[in-house]
Chains A and B, each alone.
Chain A
Amino acid sequence: MTNPIMDVLRAETILVTGTNTTENHPIFANYIKEAVLKRGAKLLVVDPRRIDLVDYADLWLQPKPGTDVAWINGLMHIIIKEGWQAADHVAECTVGYEEFAKNLEKYTPEYVAEITGIATGDLYRAAKMYGQARPASILYAMGITQHTSGTDNVKCLGNLAMLCGNIGVRGGGVNPLRGQNNVQGACDLGALPNVFTGYQKVADQEVREKFAKAWGLESLSEVPGLKVTEMFPAVEEGKVRGMYIMGENPMVSDPDLHHIEEALKKLDFLVVQDIFLTETAQLADVVLPGVSFAEKDGTFTNSERKVQRVRKAVEPVGEAREDSWIICQLAAAMGYQMNYADARAIMEEIRKVTPSYGGISYERLEKKALAWPCPDEDHPGTPVLHVGQYACGKGVFFAIDYRPPAETPDDEYPFILSTGRVLQHFHTGTMTRKGSGLTRLYPELLAEIHPADAEKLGVGEGDFINITSRRGSIKVKAWLTERPQPGVVFVPFHFSEAAVNLLTNPALCPDAKIPEYKVCAVKVEKAS
């Protein structure tokens, strides 16, 4: 996120799109509601589903799934036409405007309505609501990114914010909400194939030399690594033979599970490190028992880029060991020494090799959380990015065109399937489905289907339905609700016993390699 969470309290307009915030980021949602109910902010929700925030919205647009580029371009078309853009900001701080603006010309409200199904008047009202507000904040999550056009969608939102001068200001920004506690941290700390910590590029020789030196090695590999969604195809091709999976459960979370399972089984050697015997761990050759967040010290970096302490509250169960201990032991067994007295010592090493974390010490974290970039001990941290000037110099406008999703409904598979989460459960359910509490609130998987569709299919409340895609089929209980639009079914992915990822399309966004979880074609039938 470019801005802190509580910045929404300063926004005049909040554009919420592709985030079901009340369920997936409930505390963030508190502030959105507070901004609306107590501070008079206008709330614009753009979402194919009637999410709970719609109840608080001044305006809700319901585009067809997978048409985000079209409506965002449409908004900008109107904003430019009406002269609501921040002309000074565009002139002084950005490049690429001409080509970008020219590309928008064809996105007339009528053309956008054709693609998205959004009424022209509503699009105009939305453009006015965002375009005339200063500052205005954009919040999004995987409803925007999990598309083959995911990167395009994000760039379009960036264009929109830049166009209206909402970057680098309190109450503005483009703010992706992170779905997991430490997605931000995992990225920051180099758990990515193309970068070391702090997004220092593997392709950069100087960077490689720096890390090699810090780690006491001659050199480091310059071969670009595989992204998670590329690893499993590489296994099938025989290029990857061994895998080490720590705290992940691709057997539920990844697209087109049949292929994942085949790949994992094909591996010569699989080691899984986890706190439970997950679906993935069951396929392992060796399982190493790690510990939960309650049994270890360390830090998480939240969605706001704020680094915060995690503290050990209880001793590990049985012979389970902290994941850092396990990694160090494994390194030693392979002939490389990694010795750290404690988590703090690891952070000290991180600080040395990571400029953006340079000033983040445990001592300072005891007093308050710090948002990176925080290059040195005296730096206060950076709650808002791009203040005064874009981090990379000038903001770049991208001319982007709408592309339809990889798989669209047809006669055989007439429905769109979108996947996502529910309030009571988390990711693959390994944590939330272990106790009685949350399970009592949401005990079994429910597929959301519009009553009009259900009626056509002869499906009643609580009936079971079969949802089938080109890749697989699952049987789930139906929940008749007007949350999805007609023609769309929504299924959460937390439940391995009816894993919706058996159905999903492994088509990836060419840039981010993110799978298109929000759109694939399925057929729906009443189950016998």
Chain B
Amino acid sequence: MAEILFSSWGGEVVDNRGKEPQDFETVGKVSLPEYFQQDEEIKALIGWYGIVLRSAEVNVVDLCRTYMEEVQQQSCGKCFLCRIGTRVIADTLGRLCRGQGRPADLELIAGLAESISESSKCNIGQSGPLPLLHALEHFADDFAAAAGGAAVPAGKYRSRLTAPCMDACPIHLDIPTYVECIKEGKFQESLEVIRERLPLPGVVGRVCVRPCEEHCRRANLDEAISIKFLKRFVADYELDHGREPEYQVVPSAKTGKVAIVGAGPAGVTCAYHLARKGHQVTIYERLGEPGGMSAVGIPDYRLPRQILRHEVEMIQKLGVTIHYNTEVGKDVKLSQLEADFDAVFVAIGAHLSSSMRVEGEDAGYQGFIPGVKYLLDINSGIDPYPEGKKVVVVGGGNVAIDCVRCSFRIGKEDVNLVYRRTEKEMPADDVEIHDAKEEKVNFHFLTQPIKVLAENGKVVGLECIKMQLGEPDESGRRRPEPVEGSEFVIDCDIVVPAIGQTIDLSLLEGVDNVKTTRWHTIVVNEDTKQTENPKIFSAGDCETGPGALITACAGGRKAAFNIDKFINDEPLVATENDYFDKFFSQVKVYDPQEEIGFIGGRPRYQLKMLPPDTRKYTFDEVEQGFSPQEAMAEADRCLRCYRVATIAVG
């Protein structure tokens, strides 16, 4: 990586100006990418934590002017200092750059920058003038020269607004705005902000893995904002009040016919965005209802079926057609769709349960039921094996947890979960694990199944071996190793393997140029979601492998934009936003160590829950949702951490 001349990022000042390259100190707080996009070098960064300068060609005064102008453009206008103050600063810097500066200007903007930064209402104003203060301190000569009339060459810049939560969200929901709408009681507006990107707020507001909350700056003060449940609240509020969304359709210049395979989160999100651009969308769904893995895999007590159905129905009102119980590959060939439609989007999910590679799992014993099938049956109202009462579920992910929690709800008496590592390594949501424990699931950690035991073709037990943690593996988690001689048997009549899912790629037969990986995922261009067959796009679990629902939605959205471009004969290339996404993944937007400098002491509002002893036997939704007043109070905790980054490129 090319060396950095100066950095004040995050309070760490590294000044290599005037030094020989071999004497350069390295910058620890930030890693500035060399290129923004191909052939476009990043020469400097100015943003919420400071200035990073790589090239001496960059004029810091002009950099600051551009940045402050952008801050002013992004100022929401809701507090005096930021609204007017950043305007005054940007204008003053503008005069300096035009050679009309006055010596007093520097002191003036320094004082003002301090006031704005110290007292603005949100992070735009708090973080905005900060790098300017760094610049005035460390580049005083440049400013003095400009104030004295020296010419200031103009550079080339790119700017973008972001926020830690927004950046962390795979679909980049404008979280600060929709949370602020809730705070102000503008619930409908809040939903509109969400629906600009995501058509499933009720679903995502219940089951999202919420990377946003892991990147919430409020957590540095006390606790993260309850972003997920706020989203659920606005969706529920609309539904409870009998209102329906009003979607705006803005047809593209050219519209076409698009087939979508799979009515899961990716397929539905893609359909929604295509329909809003005026395209004719037809979805083919193998199952009898929408939702894909979210319908099959997520039980009613976490995601009531009617929420999912309702949100999909609303999308159908946009003119999207869904053919249920139609399996592409069997009932209709993918090649046929390729021929009949202008584009095809494949979003079939990952519905095959992975093999445990233990003895007896392929013997066809009664009571041996793969996790996905187990949930599918239960969610369709069927007890998959009424005879069985003692259940062992194998796995540590959300599907495994769903399997155990569902088991109580269909009247199973003894419910066990077997996981080969410790609780800490379980990939399932912490909240889910906690709830399952409350419902009295027997957890067997550091336990590996080795044999399914059966008598007369029926499961009677699962032989396991104890494990211990050894050295870390490539995932960074310590590798579990068997403890010799620790074999034991868990008596049971149902064994449910839920160690992962894989993708059924049989539908790809007969189409050309759709490549797959060795993990059975579909290969696409990550910026466009297009396969090597230009008419076929793909996203969701079948492209990424089993993953988060919101990631699937994000993939569906990206695919929709590119399918629209494809139909309109526009080139399919990465956008500036895509490049900024990559940029921000390296220059982290959220710093968990950051000291905010406020007082906290306002923990998040907890949702009311059904008590464990009654809820474990019903499929009624466990979490009860916010009241409007609770939602508004929770939203009021948001620090509104918008911030602006400007980069000098060339």
A57 to B241, CA, bound (A): 8
| Complex-state Cα separation, A39 to B632, whole angstroms | 11
A38 touches B (CB below 8 Å): yes
Check if A39 sits within 8 Å of B629, measured CB to CB.
Answer: yes
Question: B331 within 8 Å of A by Cβ?
Answer: no
Contacts of B240 in A (CB 8 A): 58
Q: How many residue pairs between the two chains, A and B, have CB atoms under 8 Å in the bound complex?
A: 10
The verdict on B397 contacting chain A, using a C-beta distance below 8 Å, is: no
CA distance A58 to B627 in the complex (A): 12
Q: Do the beta carbons of A37 and B185 come within 8 Å of each other?
A: yes
Contacts of B628 in A (CB 8 A): 37, 40
Please measure, in the bound complex, the distance between the C-alpha atom of A37 and the C-alpha atom of B182, giving whole angstroms: 12
Interface residues of B in 479-494 (CB under 8 A from A): none
Residues of B with C-beta under 8 A to A58: 240-241
**A40-B241 in contact (CB<8A):** no
Closest CB of chain A to B356's CB: distance in Å?
Answer: 48
B185/A40 in contact, CB under 8 A: no
Residues facing A in B352-382 (CB within 8 A) are: none
Q: How far is the CB of B607 from chain A (nearest CB, A)?
A: 15
By beta carbon, the residue of chain B nearest A55 is: B241
Give CA–CA (A58, B629) in the complex, Å: 14
Question: In the complex the two chains form, is A38's CB within 8 Å of B241's CB?
Answer: no
Taking the closest CB of chain A, its distance from the CB of B309, in whole angstroms, is 18
* Chain B 624-639 near chain A by CB (<8 Å), digits 1 or 0: 0001110000000000
CA gap between A38 and B628 in the complex, in Å: 8
In the complex, chain A residues 24-82 whose Cβ is within 8 Å of any chain B Cβ: 37-40, 57-58
Task: Give chain B residues whose Cβ lies under 8 Å from the Cβ of A39.
Answer: 629
Q: In the complex, what distance in Å separates the CA atom of A388 from the CA atom of B566?
A: 76
Question: Min CB distance, B631 to chain A, in Å?
Answer: 11
Chain A residues near B185: list those with CB within 8 A.
Answer: 37
B residues near A57, Cβ cutoff 8 Å:
241
Give the residue name and chain of the A residue nearest to B240 (CB).
A58
Secondary structure class of chain A's binding surface, majority of residues = loop
Interface centre among B185, B240, B627, B628 (most CB of A within 10 A): B628
* B392-433 to A contact mask, C-beta < 8 Å, 1/0: 000000000000000000000000000000000000000000
Sort chain B's interface into a size bin.
under 10
B626 to chain A, nearest CB (A): 11
- Measured in the bound complex, the distance between the Cα atoms of B628 and A40 in whole Å is 7
Minimum CB distance partner of B241 in chain A: A58
Please give, as numbers and ranges, the residues of chain A lying within 8 Å of B627 by CB-CB distance. Answer: 40
Distance to closest chain A CB from B239 (angstroms) = 12
What is the CB-to-nearest-CB distance from A47 to chain B, in angstroms, rounded to a whole number?
A: 16
CA distance A38 to B241 in the complex (A): 17
Which residues of B sit under 8 angstroms from A37, Cβ to Cβ? Answer: 185, 628
Residue of B nearest to A37 (CB): B185
Within 8 A of A (CB), among B605-629: 627-629
Q: CA A40 – CA B627 in complex, angstroms? A: 7
Task: Across the interface, name the chain A residue whose C-beta is closest to B629.
Answer: A40
CA distance A39 to B240 in the complex (A): 18
Closest CB of chain B to A13's CB: distance in Å? 14
Select from chain B the residue with minimum beta-carbon distance to A36. Answer: B628
Query: What mask results when residues 237 to 272 of chain B are scored 1 for a CB within 8 Å of chain A, else 0?
Result: 000110000000000000000000000000000000
Interface residues of B in 147-186 (CB under 8 A from A): 185
Complex Cα–Cα for A40 and B185 (A): 12
A58 to B240 CA separation, bound complex (whole angstroms) = 7
Closest residue of chain B to A39, judged by CB? B629
> Bound state CA distance, A37 and B627, in angstroms?
10
* B-facing residues in A223-265 (Cβ within 8 Å): none
Q: Mark A260-293, 1 if CB is under 8 A from B, else 0.
A: 0000000000000000000000000000000000
The residue on B at minimum CB distance from A57 is: B241
List residues 211-254 of chain B with CB under 8 A from any CB of chain A.
Answer: 240-241
A123 to chain B, nearest CB (A): 16
CA distance A57 to B185 in the complex (A): 15
C-alpha gap A38/B627 in the complex (Å): 10
CB distance from B303 to the nearest CB of A (A): 24
B210 to chain A, nearest CB (A): 26
CA distance A39 to B633 in the complex (A): 12
A58 to B241, CA, bound (A): 6
**Complex alpha-carbon distance, A39 and B185, angstroms:** 13
Q: How far is the CB of B636 from chain A (nearest CB, A)?
A: 13
In whole angstroms, how far apart are the Cα atoms of A37 and B241 in the complex?
14
Please, which residues of chain B bring their CB within 8 A of the CB of A38? 629
Kindly state the separation between the CA atoms of A58 and B628 in the bound complex, as whole angstroms.
Answer: 12
Proximity bits, A1-43, B CB within 8 Å = 1, else 0: 0000000000000000000000000000000000001111000
A122 CB, nearest partner CB in chain B, Å: 10
Least distance between A305 CB and chain B CB atoms (Å): 31
CA–CA, A37 and B632, complex, Å: 10
Measured CB to CB, the closest approach of chain B to A419, in angstroms, equals 29
A39 to B629, CA, bound (A): 7
State in angstroms the CA–CA spacing of A58 and B238 once bound together.
11
CA distance A57 to B243 in the complex (A): 12
Return chain B residues, CB-CB under 8 Å to A40. Answer: 627-629
C-alpha spacing A57/B240, complex, angstroms: 10
Query: CA of A57 to CA of B237 in the docked complex: distance in angstroms?
Result: 12
CB distance from A103 to the nearest CB of B (A): 33
Tell me how far the C-beta of A528 lies from the nearest C-beta in chain B, rounded to whole angstroms. Answer: 39
CB distance from B184 to the nearest CB of A (A): 11
CB distance from B241 to the nearest CB of A (A): 7
A31: shortest Cβ distance to chain B, in Å? 16
CA distance A38 to B629 in the complex (A): 6
Q: How many Å from the CB of A58 to the closest CB on chain B?
A: 7
What is the distance, in angstroms, from A339's C-beta to the closest C-beta of chain B? 58
Contacts of B241 in A (CB 8 A): 57-58
Q: Which of B176-212 contact A (CB under 8 A)?
A: 185
The distance from the CB of B105 to the nearest CB of chain A, in whole angstroms, is: 47
A51 nearest CB across to chain B (Å): 16
B240, B241, B627 interface centre (most CB from chain A within 10 Å): B241
Task: Mark each residue of chain A from 141 to 175: 1 if its CB lies under 8 Å from any CB of chain B, else 0.
Answer: 00000000000000000000000000000000000
Closest Cβ of chain B to A37, distance in Å, is 6
CB of A46, distance to nearest CB on chain B (Å): 15
Task: Give min CB distance, B233 to chain A, whole Å.
Answer: 13
Nearest CB of chain B from residue A82's CB, rounded to whole Å: 19
Of residues 94 through 144 on chain A, the ones whose CB sits less than 8 Å from some CB of chain B are none
How long is the Cα–Cα vector from A57 to B629 in the complex, in angstroms?
15
Q: Whole-angstrom distance from the CB of A293 to the nearest CB of chain B?
A: 36
Q: How far is the CA of A94 from the CA of B157 in the complex (A)?
A: 80
Distance of A312 Cα from B185 Cα, bound (Å)? 42
Q: Nearest chain B CB to A118's CB is how many angstroms away?
A: 15
Taking the closest CB of chain A, its distance from the CB of B627, in whole angstroms, is 5
**With the chains together, A40 CA to B240 CA distance in Å?**
14
Q: Give A57 to B628 CA distance when docked, in angstroms.
A: 13
Q: From residue B237, how far is it (CB to closest CB) to chain A in Å?
A: 10
B residues 450-475 with Cβ under 8 Å of A?
none
Output the least CB separation between A36 and chain B (Å).
8
Q: Which of A417-448 contact B (CB under 8 A)?
A: none
- Give the residues in chain A near B629, CB-CB below 8 Å: 38-40
Residue in A closest to B185 when the chains form the complex, CB atoms: A37
B170 to A: closest C-beta gap in Å:
33
Nearest chain A CB to B236 CB, angstrom units: 12
- How far is A58 from B242 in the complex, measured between Cα atoms in Å? 9
The CA-CA distance from A37 to B237 in the complex, in Å, is 12
CB closest chain-B residue, reference A60 = B242
A525 to chain B, nearest CB (A): 35
A-B contacts, 10 of them at CB < 8 A, read A37-B185, A37-B628, A38-B629, A39-B629, A40-B627, A40-B628, A40-B629, A57-B241, A58-B240, A58-B241
Q: Given known contacts A37-B185, A40-B629, A58-B241, what 7 new A-B pairs fall within 8 Å (CB)?
A: A37-B628, A38-B629, A39-B629, A40-B627, A40-B628, A57-B241, A58-B240
Show the binding face of B for A, using Cβ within 8 Å: 185, 240-241, 627-629
Q: Interface on A for B, CB 8 Å cutoff?
A: 37-40, 57-58
Report, nearest first, the 10 A-B pairs whose CB atoms are least far apart. A40-B629, A40-B627, A37-B185, A40-B628, A38-B629, A37-B628, A39-B629, A58-B241, A58-B240, A57-B241
